[in-house]
């Protein structure tokens, strides 16, 4: 088998590396597919279901999630069909029912011409896309947060809903959260995230706060940096 495969997306003939996903191929060809739980730095996951497309195989069509469906030779993909839009509309309505205030979700809803969610739920706002958990595990390499429980009661949580022992307060989870559900604040040299206060390191020269001590310790440990590497902030170097 060769390393490249040929496929068609919305009638355009494209070439994509074998083993990549439809979403990747579409992105490379500047074809828009809405998505929330995908990030190039993370392994494909397929949680939000917004990226559904219709594929044709032996004269039959099927709805698949493009972010986890691998490209194949001769694959025919339609990103905008009635069936696809119907599914996406339902998905965005369900997502909105979990977080109706999110601007990102509202923008996608507007594009899909969905005005209001038919489902009224009083859920805190997490859409359970798992971006935070996967980033913490795959990118940061810390694994401080995870899912808790399952089904309707599933949520992202720290172990035992208490101070996360492994957390380095880097804020990556808040950064990747597509609906800004995870928040952190900084005040008087203390970063507060996951209901925990993390003291921050002060620059020995200018006295500005650089980053949480635990985060800098983590960098020093993983990158084998000298103990005083972060004593002076970027501005003073």
Partner 1 sequence: MENTIKAIVEKYDSNKGFLVPVLQDVQKELNYLPREALDLVSKFLKVSISQVFEVATFYKAFSLEPRGKYQMALCQGTACHVRGVPLIVDHIERTLEIKDGETTEDLMYTFETVNCLGACALGPVMVVNEEYHGKMTIAKTDKLLKKLGKEGNA
User: Applying CB under 8 A, does 147 fall inside the site for partner 1?
Assistant: yes
CB of 144 to partner 1, least distance (A): 6
Residue whose CB is less far from partner 1, 74 or 141: 141
Scanning the structure block, which residue is given the tokens 């739920």? 121
Of the ranges 42-50, 144-152, 200-208, 221-229, which one interacts with partner 1 (CB under 8 A)?
Answer: 144-152
User: Applying CB under 8 A, does 91 fall inside the site for partner 1?
Assistant: no
Full DSSP string of 55-100: EEETTEEEEEETTTPBP-TTEEEESS-HHHHHHHHHHHHHHHHH-S
User: Applying CB under 8 A, does 152 fall inside the site for partner 1?
Assistant: no
Token output for 117: 């969610």
**CA angle (83 as vertex; 82, 88 as ends), nearest 5:** 95
CB atoms within 10 A of CB 101: 11
User: Applying CB under 8 A, does 132 fall inside the site for partner 1?
Assistant: no
Of the ranges 13-21, 65-73, 100-108, 164-172, which one interacts with partner 1 (CB under 8 A)?
Answer: 164-172
User: Applying CB under 8 A, does 222 fall inside the site for partner 1?
Assistant: no
User: Applying CB under 8 A, does 159 fall inside the site for partner 1?
Assistant: yes
What is the SS3 assignment for 26?
helix
Q: Which residues bind partner 1 (CB under 8 A)?
A: 142-150, 157-160, 164-166
């Amino acid at each position: 088998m060769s390393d490249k495969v040929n496929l068609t997306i919305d009638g355009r003939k494209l070439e994509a590396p074998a083993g990549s996903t439809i979403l990747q191929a579409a992105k490379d060809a500047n074809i828009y597919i809405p998505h929330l739980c995908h990030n190039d730095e993370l392994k494909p996951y397929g949680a939000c279901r917004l990226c559904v497309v219709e594929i044709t195989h032996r004269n039959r069509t099927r709805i698949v999630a493009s972010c986890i469906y691998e490209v194949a030779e001769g694959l025919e993909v339609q990103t905008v069909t009635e069936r696809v839009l119907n599914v996406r509309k339902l998905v965005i309505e369900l997502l909105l029912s979990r977080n109706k205030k999110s601007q990102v979700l509202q923008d996608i809803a507007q594009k899909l011409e969905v005005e209001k969610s038919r489902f009224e739920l009083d859920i805190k706002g997490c859409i359970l896309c798992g971006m935070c958990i996967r980033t913490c595990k795959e990118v940061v390499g810390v694994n401080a947060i995870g899912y808790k429980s399952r089904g309707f009661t599933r949520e992202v949580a720290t172990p035992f809903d208490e101070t996360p022992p492994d957390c380095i307060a880097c804020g990556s989870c808040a950064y990747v959260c597509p609906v800004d559900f995870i928040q952190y604040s900084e005040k008087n040299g203390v970063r507060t995230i996951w209901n925990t206060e993390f003291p921050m390191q002060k620059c020995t020269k200018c006295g500005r706060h650089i980053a949480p001590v635990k985060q800098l310790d983590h960098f020093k440990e993983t990158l084998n940096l000298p103990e005083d590497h972060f004593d002076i902030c970027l501005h003073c170097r």
